[in-house]
Amino acid sequence: MMSAQSKLGDYVLPIKNVNPVTLFGDSDFTYVDIASIDRELRAITSPQTVPAIEAPSRAKQVTAENDVLISTVRPNLNTVAMVPKEHVGAIASTGFCLLRPVPGKLDARFLFHWISSETTVSQLVALATGATYPAVSEKIIKSLPFEPPSFFEQRRMMVPHDVVYEDFARDGV
């Protein structure tokens, strides 16, 4: 009996949509949309501060540290970023597929490099629909074939070459 090929969705947690007004009342919040990402740096560089009562309709995903954001529109542009500590609790646009790795199963840095690789971007471009405004759905992204190495190997691959291996192993990886 053949086993089904694993998919990216097997390695990430589900994300529930939220209402910024419910979370923040009449306070402001940090909003991350596609324009907030610097494509060259692949980082969140210009998030907005928005009053909750003026939240864009796409403001629905609460970020956590090391979430990986990938734009669902124009996948050829490779608009990807990893959420740093300073943007934990920000609200991301539903224009992103927010990928939160299953702890102990998928390393966020490994995921970030994989999802932004030329091979993966090419797959997404081929799967995009719409000629003038090509897009992929979250469902398509999460259904990509994905068979990562062991968690230990993922972590080892992401360690800078100047880090002593014993220090890495001591951290419980």
Q: Tell me how far apart the terminal alpha carbons of the chain are, to the nearest angstrom.
A: 33
| Backbone φ and ψ of 153, nearest 5° | -65, -40
57-115 pLDDT, tens per residue? 999 999 999 999 999 999 999 999 999 999 999 999 999 999 999 999 999 999 999 99
- Residue 42 CB partners (closer than 8 Å, separation 6+): 78, 80, 81, 82, 112, 116
Token pair belonging to 79: 């608009």
Contact predicate 64/111, CB 8 Å: no
* Beta bridge mates, 48: 31
Q: Which of 134, 157, 147, 156 is nearest to 76 (CA)?
A: 134
CA 116 to chain centre: 10
Number of domains in the chain: 1
Instruction: Look up the domain containing 114 and give its range.
Output: 8-128+135-170
Give the domain CATH number at 66: 3.90.220.20
pTM: 0.88
In a domain, 3, yes or no: no
